[in-house]
Structure 1
Amino acid sequence: MLFKMYWLLSILTSWPVFGIEPTTPGLADLQSAINKSISRVQTVEDLIQARQKSLDQLQDEVKSCLTKIQDKSTDIVALINYLRHAKGFSPLLTAMASQKVEDIVHLSIVLKNLAPTLSDRFKSVLDLLKKLVEVRMALKKDQVKFSQLEWEKNKTFVELKKNFSELDELLYVTDQSLPLRHFDSEAQIREVVDRFTVQTMDCQKIIKMPEGMESNLVTGTPISADNTLHYTDLNNQVVRAPFDGEILLSGNNVETGGVLLIRNGEYLMLIKGIDKVLSYAGAKVKQQQSIGLVFGTAASKKMVVTTWQCKLRF
C-alpha cells in the first residue's frame, strides 16, 4: 500500500512546475508583470488587514467614549447651558457657540482663558469630549486610507485580469497550456482525492488545523457545514497557502473552478473555487505564499475547503 501511494504521487507530481517554454516571445515580460502585480496586491492586502485592525480599535474607543459621555450626560447638559448663557457677554463665544462636540472643545479653550474656575468645574467632561473628537478624527483618516488601499487593490486586480487574458491568448496561439489537470466533473475530483484519503491513507475530516500550523486562506470568516468550510462573498482576493507544504494536485473544472490539494505531513487540504491557480503539482509552498487568485463579484463567488488528518494504511 505504501508503494501504491508513492506511485500515485509520482503521477500527480510528474508535470513540470512551469509548463510554458521560457523562450516564447513576450512570455518573460508577461510573467514579470503578473508576478509584480501579485506581489503588490499581496502587500496591499496586508496593509488593508492592518488598517482594518486599527479601524476596529478606534471604533471600540468611540463606543467607550460615548458610554462614558452617557454616564456624564447631566454634566454635559450643564456645560452646554453655561455656554449658551455665556455667549451673551462675548462676541467670540457667540460666533463659536454650537452643540457640535468639536465646537464645544474649541469653546473650552476660550472658556479656560475667560473663566478658569468654571473651566476647572467641567474639566473631566471637556477632556472626555476632546478625546472623542481626537478619536473620531483619527477614525476618519483611517477610513480614507482604507478606501484608498481598497481602490489600489481593485485597480491591481483589473491589471491582473488583463495580464491573464493576454497569457491565455499567448498560450492558445503557441499551442501551450499551464500544467493543470482538467476534470470533466466534480466526481472525477472526488475519485482522485479518495485515492489519498480513503484507499491509500486512513483519513478523518477536521475543521481546524493544530494551533500555529494554519493561517488564513483569504480574508473573511467561513461558514462550517458537514466538516467543510465555505467562504462566500469573495471578491478580488489572493488565496494564500495555509501552511508549509507540497502541492499534490492542481487542476480546474467548469463547475468548481481551480482545484488545489496541499499536503503537510499527515494533513491534507483540498481547496475548490480558485479562479487562477498559481502553484502546480510538485511545487513546495511556504505559509502565506500566493497560490491562487479569486476574481468575480462579491455576491456570487465562493470557495470550499476540506481538510483531513491522515495516517498511512499498512
Structure 2
Amino acid sequence: MRFDRANPTAVASDFSSVPEGLAADAPVYRLEVVNLVSGGHFEFGQTGTWAGSGTAVPDSYSRITGTGSMRLDAESARDILFTPATLAGFTSRAAVAYAVFFRFSSGDPFVVKSGSDSLALDFNSGLASGLFSPAADGDNCRFQFEPESIGLSFSALYVDDFTMAKSGGMTLRLRLRPSETTHRLEPGTWEFRVWVHADPSADADGSAGPYPLDSLSVNMGPVGESTLAADSNIYSAAESTGWTRVSAILSSQALQYPRDYGEADEPVLDLIISCEDVNPGSILLAAPELRFR
C-alpha cells in the first residue's frame, strides 16, 4: 500500500464542493493498493509473455474497458499461457499469497489457473478472481487458459485489466496510547471518521495510472487487554459521489482497558482503514477524526 499527500498543496475544495463538516482547506491524502502487474490494461499494445498452443493477439476495439485487450482462441486440448510483466523490483515470496483479477468477455466456456490455483469465473459480470500462491520465492505468476473440457474449444475470448496485489494485510492502522490524543483517550464511547472521495487521477481502463479503488471500510480495534465492539462502515464508490463521510462507532461495549494500561500509557486502540479483498486502485482521504460521544 501507499499513503501520502495527493500533492503538497491539495485541499478538499480542490476536488468537489465541500459538504458541511469538512473544512475546505483540509489536507487531502491518497491511499493506493498497488497493482503489481505492469501494462495489464493493454491500452498501448501487448505486454507480458504469451505462449502455448493456442493463439493470443492484441485487439484495439472497445471490447471491455478502454480500447485495448487481448483476443484468445484455443482448440480442444490446447492452451494459452500468459506471464504478465510486473513492477520493477517486485519478487514474489513463497510465504505470501497474491490476489489476482482480470476482466473477460466470452460466449464460450473456459477455465483458467494461476499456478496450481483455479480462478473463479463469473460469466454474468465478466470478472475472474482468485489467488496466486508461489511455490518458491521468485516464482512468476502465470495464467493458463484452456477449453472447459476435452472436445470443446473457445474463440474470441477477450481478456483485459489484469491486476495482482498481496492478499491480506491491506490495512492502514494508527495505534494509539491514552496520551496520544488531544483529550486523553479515556474509557468510553468513541467515533472514528474520515472523508472519502474518488481519485480523479485514477482511470477505469488503467492507462493513465492506478485504477479507481472500489471500496474500503473504517473500523476500530482493541489492543492488548483492552476491549471494545465497534460498528464498522463501508465506502462503496458505486454508491457515492463527491466527499462522503465514513465512520466507525463503538457500540454497546465502549472502549475499556485495565487501569495499569492507562498508568503505563500502553497502546489501547487501533484506528483502521481496511482495503481487504479489494482490487488494486487509489482513493482520496481527508480530515480523519476521533471523537468522544
Query: For this structure pair, what is the TM-score category when the shorter chain's length is used for normalisation?
Result: under 0.3
The normalised TM-score by structure 2 is 0.22
Tell which structure's C-alpha radius of gyration is larger: 1
TM-score (normalizing by structure 1): 0.21
